[in-house]
Amino acid sequence: MIYLLDVNALLALGFQGHEFHSRVAAWVVGLDPSDTLVACPITELGFVRVLQQAPQYRVPVSESKKLLGLLRKNSKRSIGFIPNDRGVEILPAWVTTGRQSTVGYLSALAGKHKAVLATMDEGIRGAFIIPEI
């Protein structure tokens, strides 16, 4: 299975200070070796933005980029990359508000790349919910 990590899952995996780090790390450890984790431009930009802007983190952009690089090259479970190669025409019909647009887009982008969106947000239709430990 290919899992596109949403911004929160990517943050939780890459930043030990995140409230869901243990949950996501435990899930990743339990994955089958054939499973693949991926990010995309939207989730990587979200990772950098949140780490820099969130008052509890305030990680400089340069450090966030380094953390992301370490995640990509992790010897135990590296993170691949899928291109943001589709436009808004892929938005699912259930997207009816601006608040749903990014998660709807990520969900559809994952599907176009034979992946599933991995998240902790139970409100995203068709997404894989990372289990609680």
Q: Can you give the pLDDT at residue 86?
A: 87
H or E stretch covering 83: none
Q: Can you give the pLDDT at residue 125?
A: 86
Average pLDDT on 72-101 reads 89
How far, in Å, are 4, 46, 63, 77, 90 from residue 57 at the CA level?
24, 14, 11, 24, 33
Phi/psi for 71 (5° steps) reads -60, -45
Chain-wide mean pLDDT for the chain? 93
Retrieve residue 28's tokens.
């990743």
CATH architecture of 2-129: 3-Layer(aba) Sandwich (3.40)
Q: Can you give the pLDDT at residue 111?
A: 94
Per-residue confidence band for 77, with pLDDT thresholds at 50, 70 and 90: confident
Which residues neighbour 48 within 8 Å (Cβ) at sequence distance 6 or greater? 61, 64, 65, 68
| pLDDT at 85 exceeding the cut of 90 | no
Provide the Cα torsion 106, 112, 124, 126; round to 10°: -170
Q: Can you give the pLDDT at residue 56?
A: 85
